[in-house]
């Protein structure tokens, strides 16, 4: 039996660039951040250089609590792409953070039939490569 | 300036193929152009506008297709917003013709999605390097999965059922049974849909559109010129387009582009909902139809489940849609916006034989491109035969 840890990570990885690197580096430290505009106080996810409300470049990084609720979800039973076809079924969801922003993510440590919309969840950090950590969610404990 | 009745669909052609391993994408497109020009009674020498985009086409594929047919158009449009693109192309062609940029515009699409074995709905893997993809692709977002999340939320908020969604698929199959070129023509039942395997919960295999080869083309020209041609003009009354996306993490996911594009098309056409005799609604999935009908305002939000029930959407029902059998049963070569316009035009010309909607004078077309649950476009047209 091959050790699964030896297998190359086959799922798509994000393209890191100077705009998004602080966010991904925070995830690597197991910290989840959202952005807030220093001029108009609008919050946003995913991270970007400008506020979409007032186009200000003055951005504050706010540490998210890492808790939220399931806004919607689906259990996927068919995906032919490498990395996913070996992990069927998997659960994809929008989680609405307590801070009020929705993130697309995976729900882990639960079976599809246990998931309910509105269910409280908490972040778990999955270190998928030395550079990339993904924020996934599990039922809140 | 109103566009209403200034331009018309003067020719349409749906390529009958559903599986064409012997043809290239450009050949299917060119044969479709020939068919639409024949239908209008025009020749290739009359064409001075070209609109197309495609899944297997390069980024500047429209120039390649102009090369293939040796066209030198005065107007080109390669708007690429997914399956709705060809509905948007029609709207743009109407505006271009009304503004004098061209006189006879071809809108064309072709694809060998089936024979090239595209995994369109379930092949979710890497996205582009565009910023939004970095936060979706790592989690295995597929097209069907993104639509499934809309269905799940709709069921949660409004008690919509899988049976109600299934009736949409059953109705499309009934229509396909009356369309000799439809890919799947054997009737199905609600029980068949529910018994088909789950692809991405709560959507079953038969809640999903098929994959076929195919193509089609339209000839758009001025209303005045259309009146001098072979077929009865199908006038373009109103158009609208819109997009929806993650909205910086704050989107209401049951609000889709159709709410905005539909409102624009109705306002611009001066037509009311009660005037619509039939509609062609992009049916990538059953939930796409339900959500689109709500967002276009044919029923209130949350009432879509009841609205699509009881045979209302049948060709002989109170609100007929997708009389060709739709993407769920007739054809879906990767994108199918072009077929929405073709079937609406045929209905308005009274050419639909056993599936003809009685007394059909005004039709609505709505294309969706992309995925309702992530990012998508919507394009709406209101068409009339008078």
The full 3-state SS of chain B, as one line of letters, equals: CCCCCCEEEEEEEECCCCCCCCCCHHHHHHHHHHHHHHHHCCCHHHCCEEEECCCCCCCCHHHHHHHHCCCCCCEEECCCECECHHHHHHHHHHHHHHCCCCCEEEEEEEECCCCCCCCCCCCCCCCCCCHHHHHCHHHCCCHHHHHHHHHHHHHHHHCCCHHHHHHHHHHHHHHHCCCCCCCCCCCCCHHHHHHCCEEECCEEHHHECCCCCEEEEEEEEEHHHHHCCCCCCEEEEEEEEEEECCHHHCCCCCCCHHHHHHHHHHHHHCCCHHHCCEEEECCCEHHHHHHHHHHHCCCCCCCHHHHCCCCCCCCCCCCCECCCCHHHHHCCCCCCHHHHHHHHHHHHCCCCHHHCCCCCCEEEEEEEEECCCCCEEEEEEEEECC
Report how far residue B26's alpha carbon sits from residue B15's, in angstroms, rounded to the nearest whole number: 12
* A14 close to B138: Cβ distance less than 8 angstroms: yes
Q: A61 has which bridge partners? A: A35
A74 vs B156, B197, B201: nearest CB:
B201
Q: What is the mean pLDDT of residues B315-340?
A: 97
Do B124 and A79 count as a contact with CB atoms less than 8 A apart? yes
Tokens at A137, concatenated: 């969610």
β-pairing, B75-77 vs B49-52, is parallel
Nearest CA in chain B to A116: B156
Residues of B in contact with A136 (CB under 8 A): 139
A106 vs B124, B132, B139: nearest CB:
B139
The closest alpha carbon to B160, from B294, B312, B302, B288, belongs to B302
Nearest-10 crossing angle of helices B61-68, B25-40: 60
Q: For residue range B11-50, what is the model confidence (pLDDT) as tens digits?
A: 999 999 999 999 999 999 999 999 999 999 999 999 999 9
For residue B181, what are the CA distances in angstroms to A112, B78, B99, B346?
Answer: 39, 28, 37, 15
Do A14 and B145 count as a contact with CB atoms less than 8 A apart? no
Give the H or E element holding residue A24: helix A21-28
- Does residue A49 register a pLDDT over 60? yes
With a CB cutoff of 8 Å and minimum separation 6, the contacts of A134 are: A27, A105, A106, A125, A126, A128, B138, B139
Q: For residue range A80-104, what is the model confidence (pLDDT) as tens digits?
A: 999 999 999 999 999 999 999 999 9
Check if B140 contacts A (Cβ < 8 Å): yes
Cα B48 to chain centroid, rounded: 24
Residue A70 three-state SS: strand
What is the residue whose two structure tokens read 């032919």?
A80
Tokens at A108, concatenated: 């882990």
Tokens at A53, concatenated: 């409300």
Burial class from Cβ neighbours inside 10 Å (0-12, 13-18, 19+) for residue B267 reads: exposed
Q: What is the mean pLDDT of residues B341-367?
A: 98
Nearest CA in chain A to B153: A72
A101 vs B125, B142, B249: nearest CB:
B249
- Asked if residue B236 has a cis previous peptide bond (ω within 30° of 0), the answer is no
Average pLDDT, whole number, for chain A? 95
In this prediction, residue A2 has a pLDDT band, given cuts at 50, 70 and 90, of: very low
Nearest CA in chain B to A44: B248
The closest alpha carbon to A91, from B206, B246, B152, belongs to B152
- Does residue B339 register a pLDDT over 90? yes
pLDDT value, residue B185: 97
pLDDT value, residue B274: 98
Looking at CA atoms only, how far is residue A35 from chain B in angstroms? 10
Radius of gyration of chain B, Cα coordinates, nearest whole angstrom: 19
* A67 close to A120: Cβ distance less than 8 angstroms: yes
Number of Cβ within 10 Å of residue A24's Cβ equals 17
- Does residue B294 register a pLDDT over 50? yes
pLDDT value, residue B203: 98
B141 vs A72, A92, A112: nearest CB:
A92
Report how far residue B20's alpha carbon sits from residue A98's, in angstroms, rounded to the nearest whole number: 52
Rounded to two decimals, the pTM is 0.96
Check if B245 contacts A (Cβ < 8 Å): no
Q: For residue range B215-269, what is the model confidence (pLDDT) as tens digits?
A: 999 999 999 999 999 999 999 999 999 999 999 999 999 999 999 999 999 999 9
pLDDT value, residue B125: 59
pLDDT value, residue B122: 74
Tokens at B353, concatenated: 């034989």
Residues of A in contact with B144 (CB under 8 A): 76, 78
Q: For residue range B94-151, what is the model confidence (pLDDT) as tens digits?
A: 999 999 999 999 999 999 989 887 776 776 656 688 999 999 999 999 999 999 999 9
pLDDT value, residue A120: 98
**Which value does ipTM take for this structure?**
0.95
Report how far residue B25's alpha carbon sits from residue B37's, in angstroms, rounded to the nearest whole number: 19
Percentage of chain B surpassing pLDDT 70? 98
Tokens at A135, concatenated: 């924020």
Q: What is the mean pLDDT of residues B350-363?
A: 98
For residue B55, what are the CA distances in angstroms to B96, B119, B130?
Answer: 25, 12, 18
For residue B348, what are the CA distances in angstroms to A70, A139, B110, B232, B357?
Answer: 45, 53, 24, 9, 9
Average pLDDT, whole number, for chain B? 96
Q: What is the mean pLDDT of residues B310-325?
A: 98
Number of Cβ within 10 Å of residue B301's Cβ equals 16
pLDDT value, residue A1: 44
Q: For residue range B151-167, what is the model confidence (pLDDT) as tens digits?
A: 999 999 999 999 999 99
Q: For residue range B178-200, what is the model confidence (pLDDT) as tens digits?
A: 999 999 999 999 999 999 999 99
């Amino acid at each position: 039996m091959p050790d699964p840890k030896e297998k190359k990570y086959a799922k798509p990885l994000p393209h890191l660039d100077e705009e998004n690197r602080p966010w991904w580096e925070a995830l690597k430290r197991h910290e989840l951040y959202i952005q807030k505009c220093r001029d108009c106080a609008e919050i946003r996810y995913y991270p970007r250089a400008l506020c979409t409300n007032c186009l200000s470049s003055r951005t504050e990084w706010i540490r998210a609590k890492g808790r939220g609720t399931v806004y919607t979800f689906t259990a996927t039973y068919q995906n032919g792409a490498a990395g996913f076809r070996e992990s069927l079924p998997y659960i994809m969801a929008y989680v609405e953070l307590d801070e009020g922003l929705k993130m697309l993510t995976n729900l882990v440590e639960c079976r599809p039939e246990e998931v309910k919309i509105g269910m409280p969840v908490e972040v778990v950090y999955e270190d998928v490569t030395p550079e990339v950590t993904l924020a996934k969610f599990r039922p809140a404990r | 300036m109103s566009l209403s009745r200034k331009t018309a669909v003067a020719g349409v052609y749906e390529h009958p193929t559903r599986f064409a391993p012997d043809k290239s994408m450009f050949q299917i497109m060119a044969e479709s152009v020939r068919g639409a020009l024949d239908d209008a009674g025009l020749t290739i020498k009359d064409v001075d506008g070209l609109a197309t985009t495609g899944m297997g086409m390069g980024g500047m594929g429209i120039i390649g297709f102009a090369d293939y047919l040796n066209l030198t158009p005065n107007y080109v449009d390669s708007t690429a917003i997914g399956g709705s693109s060809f509905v948007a192309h029609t709207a743009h062609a109407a505006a271009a013709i009304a503004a004098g940029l061209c006189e006879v515009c071809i809108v064309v699409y072709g694809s060998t999605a089936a024979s090239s074995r595209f995994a369109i709905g379930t092949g979710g893997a890497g996205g582009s390097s565009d910023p939004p993809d970095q936060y979706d692709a790592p989690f295995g977002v597929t097209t069907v999965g993104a639509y499934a999340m809309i269905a799940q939320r709709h069921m949660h908020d409004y008690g919509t059922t899988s049976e109600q969604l299934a009736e949409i698929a059953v109705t499309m199959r009934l229509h396909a049974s009356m369309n000799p070129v439809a890919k799947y023509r054997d009737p199905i039942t609600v029980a068949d849909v529910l018994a088909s395997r789950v692809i991405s919960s709560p959507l079953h295999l038969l809640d999903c559109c098929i994959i076929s080869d195919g193509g089609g083309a339209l000839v758009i020209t001025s209303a005045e010129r259309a009146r001098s041609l072979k077929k009865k003009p199908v006038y373009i009354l109103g158009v609208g387009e819109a997009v929806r996306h993650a909205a910086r993490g704050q989107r209401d996911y049951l609000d889709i582009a159709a709410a905005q594009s539909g409102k624009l098309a109705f306002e611009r056409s001066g037509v009311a909902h009660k005037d619509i005799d039939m509609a062609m609604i992009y049916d990538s999935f059953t939930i796409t139809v339900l959500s689109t009908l709500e967002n276009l305002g044919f029923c209130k939000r949350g009432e879509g489940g009841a609205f699509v029930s009881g045979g209302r959407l049948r060709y002989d029902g109170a609100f007929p849609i997708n009389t060709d059998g739709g993407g769920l049963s007739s054809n879906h070569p990767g994108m199918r916006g072009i077929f929405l316009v073709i079937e609406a035009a045929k209905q308005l010309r009274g050419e639909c034989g056993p599936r003809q909607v009685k007394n059909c004078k005004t039709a609505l077309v709505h294309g969706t491109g992309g995925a309702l649950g992530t990012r998508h476009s919507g394009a709406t047209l209101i068409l009339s035969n008078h």
